[in-house]
Amino acid sequence: MSKEKFGVNTICTHVGEIKDEQFKGAVSPIYLSTSYEFDNVDVKRYPRYFNTPNQTHLSKKIAALEHTETAMIFASGMAAISTMLLAFLKQGDHIVVQNTLYGGTSNFIREEFPKYGIEFTFTNGYEVAHFEDAIQSNTKVIYIETPSNPLLTITNIKNIADLTKSKGLVSMIDNTFASPINQNPADFGIDLIIHSATKYLGGHSDILAGAVAGSHIHMERIWNVAKNLGGSLSDMTVWMLERSMKTLALRVKAQNKNAQKLAEFLDKHSDVANVFYPGLKSHPEHELAKTQMRGFGGMLSFELNDGIDAMTFQKHLKLIKSSMSLAGVESTMLLPSRTSHALLSQNERDQIGISDRLIRFSVGIETFKDLKADIKQAIKTTKS
C-alpha cells in the first residue's frame, strides 16, 4: 500500500493503522507495554525511545499528511519545539526567529537559551529581508510561524526555504495554525515542521500533544536528543490522537468554510473596525496565502469599533465560549491583551499591533447561522 496514492481523507482514516491480527477488530489496538523483549528483535522498544507500536504507526500518518519521510510524536507542542531546537543548536550558535511567535516558544528561547549560551535574534518583521538581515556568521537555524498568532500574518515559505538553503542553514516552521490540511511546508523546501497536536490534530480540546515531521537525517538528530530529554507521549494519548486525526480533514475543511463566511460577515458589519483573515481579499498577503495554502484556516481576529467594549462583548456571547487555547470543534474567543500577550507592556503590545480591543476567534464546526446570530446579539446587547 503506497500512501502516495491516497487522498487526504484516506490518509487521515487509514495510514498508520495497526492491524489487529489476533481479534480482527476495526481499529488499532493500544500497546501499553513499557517492557519489550530485548533478544531476537529488530527494534529495542521503549516508550521514551519513541518507538512503541502506537507511536511509530501514528508517526506514519503525520509524515504522510506533511509529505515528509518521517515524523515523531511528543508529549506537547513545547516538548516538540524545545527538543527540535536543542537538537540543532549548541553553545555559540545563533538562531533567527520570527518576531510574531507563539508565546511559549518565545519564552523558551528568551528564558532558556541564555543558560546554554545560544544566541538569538527576533526579526523586526516577517518579510524575507528581515530574516536575511538578521543572519550572522554563527547562525544555524531560521524559524518561522505562518499564519501567525494572533494577527494572521503570512510569511513567504518558499522564499524562507530558499534563503535558508542558500546559506546552508536549517529551516523550521510552526505549522500549527494552518494544519497539514491547509499547508505543507515541505513542498516548498522547509526542513522541519512542528505541530502543537493539542490544536487541530487533536481537535477536541482534550489532548495535549506535539509532533515534528522531516527527513530521516534531520529526524535522527532530533531522536538522539529526544531520548535524553524524555518528552514522549503516553500510548493511551497516542491512540486518542490517532482517533482524532481520522476526522482531521473533515473538521479543518468545515472550519475553513465557517471562518471564511464569518470573516466576510464581520468585514461587512458596521460595528466592526478591522478583520484579520488571510482568506479576505483585503488581507495584505492574500495573494501570497493563495500560493502556499489550500485553505485559509479556522483562525481569525477582529476589532470592534471604539466604544464597544471587547470584554463586555465576550461576556454577552451565549454559544461561543470565552476560553484559552484554540482549534477545537467548538468556537472560542479570547482577548490576546488579557491572555497570550498579557505579560508584555502596553508599549510592546502596541509595537506588534495587538490592541486591547483585538479579539481572537477560533472558529469551530457549528452551523454558520448560529455563530453569526450569536455575534450579532452580543454586539447588540453590548451597545445597548
Residues near ligand PLP (CB under 6 A) are 76-78, 102, 104-105, 149, 174, 176-177, 196, 198-199, 208, 210
Min dist CB 222 to ligand PLP, Å, is: 16
Min dist CB 104 to ligand PLP, Å, is: 5
Min dist CB 327 to ligand PLP, Å, is: 8
Q: Closer CB to ligand PLP, residue 131 or residue 200?
A: 200
Residues 6+ away with beta carbon under 8 Å from 245: 12, 58, 61, 62, 201
Min dist CB 299 to ligand PLP, Å, is: 9
Q: Closer CB to ligand PLP, residue 61 or residue 360?
A: 360
Q: Closer CB to ligand PLP, residue 53 or residue 298?
A: 298
Min dist CB 175 to ligand PLP, Å, is: 9
Min dist CB 153 to ligand PLP, Å, is: 13
Q: Measured at CB, which residue is nearest to ligand PLP?
A: 77
